Structures are given as structure tokens and as C-alpha cells.
Structure 1
Amino acid sequence: MATPKFQAQKSSFHAELKKRINTYFQETGISTTGNYKLYLKASILALSLIAIYIHLVFFTPITIIAILECIVLGGLTAGMGFNVMHDGSHGSFSKIKKLNDIAGLSLNVLGANVFMWNTKHNVIHHAYTNIDGIDDDLDAGPFLRLCESQKRLKIHRFQHLYFWAAYSMLFFYWVFFSDYQKYFTQKVGDFPLKKMKTADHISFWAFKAIHAAFFVVVPILTVGFLPWLIGFLIYGVFTGFVMSIVFQLAHTVEEAHFPVVSQPDNRIEDEWAIHQLKTTANFATNNKVITWLVGGLNFQIEHHLFPRISHIHYPAISKIIKQACAEYGVMYHEFPKMRMAVASHVSHLRQLSRA
């Protein structure tokens, strides 16, 4: 599918939003990127991950403690992705490009690849959110049907019951298959990757080898194959589920829109900012613990409208965006509680499971 065009507006809603947000940062005199709060959080997450890893691999505790530490390690891995890598890859972690690059590379250390992520997430998902056939995040086939335009298979009758198992496999699929598929085909779905430089090729293979050494070879040598396998499965399952559910709650819920591209002009009926608001939802934005843990991704609307602003500013700018939406009569999807978003997601899967 050729990438569609959004409706052009002489006086766009997006322009008004940018004007109000720019005024906020000018009047407060603060930077749009991260500050000491983000750097402190990044340090806590990184040091905790290293400490848990060392204790598990080199000072292996009793079984029940080891299992709990594998779960915590999975949570910390997801937390590094949400809080550090995500801001870094969007260029919002720091004013300093090198620090953003380093933050983004944390994804490579944990097994995936930031080059592939940038195309899949920053370029495709953020531009063409919830457009089937383009947004790769909607491609969960054959196990899940995430929008009405996707073909319904017999297995989908039960997707609202087994979705958690599919989500739990995300980490393994991403690290051990999806990245390689993108690398060798040089595509994300049908969307071509940016041409990789020699340094990108070296980085891809070097970090894959480093990850295999630290998360496969070394643990097997220190604790044995079977304990490593059990621990790695627990770690990967928890990592994958947490990552999946956070992103799914933002876009695949009953309230979210899944635009169909009009033909033959190949256009989306809305301007880009309206499209983002229709296809995105927030959840639990008053819960500071969830906000801290998921890197502000529960403020998904703010992130999609202003991806180059660090997540530490989302609570503040959300008030401005809500006010603008109220004035312009634009829907602003938000679930007060995370459990309400989960219920809506499950209901969405159930509806799509039916013929």
C-alpha cells in the first residue's frame, strides 16, 4: 500500500496545538527534553537491572527468590525501554544528541535493535497510526485480529481468552525473529528501511552477539542449561507481556478509530493531529506510580502529538491539549483507571472475534 496523504488545512488544529505548547515552554523557560528527574530515573533503572542480573547469574539465590528476580529483571527491561530507550530514540531524552544516541542504544544491549525500531515506530507507527496495511503494530497475524479490515480466522474466536499468551511471546519474537526478518528483507512490512551504513550493519551484529553472550552463554556457564532456560523464559515472558499490554492499551481499544484510506485519491479524511487523537487513548494519567514506571506512555495522546517532547512534561501539557480539544470539539479518549483500559481492550478483541 502506498502511504496515504492527510487532509491539508489552512488553519489546522495541529498548528494551534503547537502554538499553545510552544508558548507554555517559552513562558516557563524549561527545556522540552529530559531533566535531572529523568536522568535519576534512568540511573535507578539501569543500576537496578545490572545489580539484579549480577545477583542472578553470579550469586544465584534459592529458587523462589531467583524466580522473583527474573520477573523483576523483566520489569526493569521493559522499564528501560519505556523510560530511557523510547525518549532517546525520539531525541527527547537530552539536549545532547550523543546522550540521546546512547539512551537509544540501550535497546540494542537488551536484545533488539534501535535502527529497526526507529523505522517501525518513529517513522511508520507515529505517522500512520492504526492504518491497517501500513502500521506494523497492527500486524499480529495469524494469532490476533486487531481491526475489522483484517481477515477473520477460526482461531480468532478465542483471541480474547488467549491474547495474554500471544503478548507474552513478543520479546522472544522481536529479539530472535522480527529484527532479523527486517534486516534481511530491508523492510518493515512493505515499507522499505532507510539504507543501512556500514556502522549500522556492524552495530546490528555486534550487539546481537553481546546480548547472546550476556543473556545466553554466560548464564548457561554459571548456573547450567535448565536453570537458565527456565529463568530466561520467565524473564522474557514477563518482559513481552508488559511491553505489549502498555502499547495495546493506547491504540487497540473500543474507543480507538481504525481509519480506512479513501480511494482513488489515497487520502485519510482527517488532518494528522485529528487522526492521532481519534486513534489514540490515555489511561491512568492520575496514577503517578504507573506514569513513572511506563515512562509516561499512559499519556499516549501527548506522546503522539509531540513525540520530541520528553515524557516528564506530559502531565503538564496534557492540560493544554485537553483544553484545546474541548474548545474545538475534538474527542479526547482517556480511561481514568488502567483496569478500564484493559477491559476495553479485551472487549475490542472479543468483538473482533465474532463473525
Structure 2
Amino acid sequence: MERLKKPTFLHSPKDDFFRKLSKEVKENILVDTSVQRKSIYKALFLLALFLFFYSCILFFGNTIRYLYLFYILMGISMIVIFVNSFHDAAHGAVFFKKKHNRWFCYTLELFGSNSAVWIKRHTLLHHPYPNIQNWDCDIKQSDAVRLFPNSKWYSFHKYQHIYMWFVYPFYTLIWLFIRDFKDFFGIKDNYLKRLYTIPRVEYVRLFVAKAFNLFYMLMVPYWVLNHSFLTIFSAWIVMHLIASVVGVVALISTHVDESAVFPIPDEEGNMQTSWLEHQLSVTKDFSAGNTVADFLYGGFTHHTAHHLFPTITHTYYPQITPLIRKYANENNLPYTCYPVLHAIRSHFRLLKHSGASENIIRTGEL
């Protein structure tokens, strides 16, 4: 196996605005700890809501419309927990104590995945190297869709802007029953395992979490309710389809629009920009400041703030984003925020362009 050459960014100048921004955030925003307590209350409320919807399935699920309704609401609450509270806790940002953040991260096991490996792939690869081919495995997950301009092109990619409408609704199922196993057992282009040795106990937790998830999601309702297993199973599938649609909005709206850049390091791993310039160039906000969007998607609507301050909980971001916008404008650096529908349309235009046989997506130069 060849020696990895991690991408290395240019050193920022001493008057880098990020230093001024960080100082202002620390002195004027983070002093109000009540904003972080809001994040704690939100995390506990969302988890209670998930458990409430599950109990409603068991108590009211004999009526078919309630069965489907509460499965769908449970799935949506699962996604909202993930993109808000779990995501922040994975960065140690929700609770004041590290152990409490780690405890909350076990909600991902409740959802059937593995929190330890997800945290490593997210913090070791996506956050340091967003939109860099091979290194950002949060974006490059499968050959079924071509996003990076240097990825291998297959003839079926010409239709990806059409067929991905039908693939994205299966995102959570693909995650639970394909992507997790690729992370643990895959060899091809598995940069995570080249940087991190997965402890044996996590292999056990992976299978236990999936078995427990299927047990309480499928078997318990089947035993408690007067429905066939096929009916319970179909409600569970619908839950995943709706939850995936809600979740995918966050995933496709922050890094992979039609104006996305995918910088390429040279043979020695050297990048042409500083870390700050890179993060601002490859990260987009969507519907930031919209009350409903901010509540549902947390640190994804204010995703630029999240990439610059990942260890700060998302309830601070509405105060931080205007500062980022101000400093970016003053220093002639990009800051982008789209309405959510524009971001979705832009993503599918990217799919159409990057699925063409000729590469017309910008690379390297920012």
C-alpha cells in the first residue's frame, strides 16, 4: 500500500480574518451559555419525541392510518435528531461534558448504525478535506453517482440526474445495509481504514445495533399489533423512504451544487489555498435564517459556520453567520447561501453536467 500524502493547505497570513472572527465569536457570542443550553433541551426533546412516536405505534398502530402516520413521524424525528443533535454531539458540541456528548452519540446505534466509525470518517476525512477526491468519503460513497470530476465515468452516469431521484429515497436503507458494511469490510478506496484501525468491539456493536434496531422496529410491533408482518414491514419501508427524502436535502445542499469546486492536491499533497479559503469555497449554506429550516436542519442550514466552528453547537450559528458574511465580503472571499429549492435544483444540474462523458466541472483552481 502506497504511503498516504495528506492534503496540506497553505499557511494563512497573520492578518487572516479567521483570527479576528474567532476572537469576536469567543468574546461576544459564546459568553452566553444559555444558547448552548437551548441545544441541550432540543436534543432531549427530539429524543423524547422519537420515543413518543414509537410508543404511539404500539398503542394506536392497530388503525392502519395511524400505523403509517407514526412510523413516518418517527422516521422524520430520527433524521432531525441526526442532523441536529447527533451531528453536534459527534463534534463534542451539545453538552458541556465530553462523556455526555459521547453518550448521546449512541442514538446512532439506536437507529441501527455505528457511531464510533461514523464519527471517525466524518471528523478525520470530511471536515479536514471537504470536496477533495478520495479523502472526502462523505461525498464519494458509491460509483452509482459521479460527483467528483476525476471519478471514473460510466455510460449510465448520463442518466444519473434522472435515476438519483429514485435512489435518494433509499438513502437510509443503503446506509444501514450497504455503506456501513463497506466502511467496516470494504477494501477498495477505503481511506478511513487507512487512517483508523476499527476496534474489534465496534464490529460487535455494528451487528448488535442492527439486530436490535430490526427487533424493536419490526418484531415488537408485529407481536403487539394485529397486523401481518408484511403490513408492519411496508410501514417501516415507507418510514425510511420519507426519512431519506428529508435527510438528503441536507446532504445535497451544502457541498455539491452546480458551482461546486473539487480542488485537487499536487503529487506531494500540496493544496493551492489556505484551509480557510478552501472551507469557504467548497461549503454552502441553504435557507439560513429560516426558522423552520434552522430547526429541522440545525448546523446544515448554517453549514459554513459549522465547518469553521465544528465544536460549537448549531444554536450559536445564526449569530455567527452574519459575521462570516461580513468578514468574507470585506476580504473578497466567497460566502454562498441559497434557498433550499434552488440548492436542490442546482444539485441535480450538477448531476447532469458531471454525468456527461466530457468533464465540464471545474477542478483544482479556486
2:252 is matched with which residue? 248
2:361 is matched with which residue? none
Distance 2:235 2:119 in 1: 30
2:327 is matched with which residue? 324
Task: Write the mapping of 1:122-133 to structure 2, written as runs, cut at 5 A.
Answer: 122-133=123-134
1:237 is matched with which residue? 241
Query: Aligned to 1:214, which of 201, 213, 216?
Result: 216
1:24 is matched with which residue? 25
Superposition RMSD on alpha carbons, in Å? 2.3
Unaligned runs of 5+ in 1: none
1:287 aligns with 2:290: yes
TM-score (normalizing by structure 1): 0.91
2:360 is matched with which residue? none
Is the 1:134–1:189 contact (alpha carbons within 8 Å) kept by the matching residues of 2? no
Is the 1:254–1:345 contact (alpha carbons within 8 Å) kept by the matching residues of 2? yes
Query: Aligned to 1:274, which of 277, 281, 284?
Result: 277
Classify 1:44/1:258 alpha carbon distance in 2 versus 1 (closer, same or farther; 3 Å): same
Q: What is the deviation of 1:139?
A: 2.1
1:182 is matched with which residue? 183
2:300 is matched with which residue? 297
Query: SS in structure 2 opposite 1:285?
Result: coil
Query: SS in structure 2 opposite 1:137?
Result: coil
Distance 2:200 2:159 in 1: 45
Task: Write the mapping of 1:107-256 to structure 2, written as runs, cut at 5 A.
Answer: 107-185=108-186, 189-192=190-193, 194-197=196-199, 200-222=202-224, 223-256=227-260
2:345 is matched with which residue? 343
Cα deviation digits, residues 289-330 of structure 1 (max 9, x gap): 110111231111111111001100111111111111111110
Q: What is the deviation of 1:29?
A: 5.6
Classify 1:314/1:159 alpha carbon distance in 2 versus 1 (closer, same or farther; 3 Å): same
Distance 1:339 1:180 in 2: 33
1:312 is matched with which residue? 315
2:83 is matched with which residue? 82
In structure 1, give the amino acid aligned to 2:64. Answer: T
Classify 1:75/1:58 alpha carbon distance in 2 versus 1 (closer, same or farther; 3 Å): same
Aligned length: 351
1:62 is matched with which residue? 63
Distance 1:237 1:255 in 2: 28
In structure 2, give the amino acid aligned to 1:340. Answer: H
Is the 1:256–1:281 contact (alpha carbons within 8 Å) kept by the matching residues of 2? no
Cα deviation digits, residues 175-212 of structure 1 (max 9, x gap): 12222332235898233253344654554343333223
Cα deviation digits, residues 138-194 of structure 1 (max 9, x gap): 324332111321222222222112212221222112112222332235898233253
Classify 1:247/1:189 alpha carbon distance in 2 versus 1 (closer, same or farther; 3 Å): same
Query: SS in structure 1 opposite 2:273?
Result: coil
Is the 1:33–1:93 contact (alpha carbons within 8 Å) kept by the matching residues of 2? no
Q: What is the deviation of 1:107?
A: 1.1
Is the 2:60–2:66 contact (alpha carbons within 8 Å) kept by the matching residues of 1? no
Distance 1:50 1:218 in 2: 14
Q: What is the deviation of 1:32?
A: 7.2
1:104 is matched with which residue? 105
In structure 1, give the amino acid aligned to 2:206. Answer: F
Q: What is the deviation of 1:350?
A: 1.5
Is the 2:183–2:192 contact (alpha carbons within 8 Å) kept by the matching residues of 1? no
Cα deviation digits, residues 98-137 of structure 1 (max 9, x gap): 2101221111111111111112211100011011122112
1:354 is matched with which residue? 356
Query: SS in structure 1 opposite 2:209?
Result: helix
TM-score (normalizing by structure 2): 0.88
Cα deviation digits, residues 200-258 of structure 1 (max 9, x gap): 45543433332232123223333431012101111111222222221111011012211
Unaligned runs of 5+ in 2: 358-366
Query: SS in structure 2 opposite 1:112?
Result: coil
Percent identity of equivalent pairs: 25
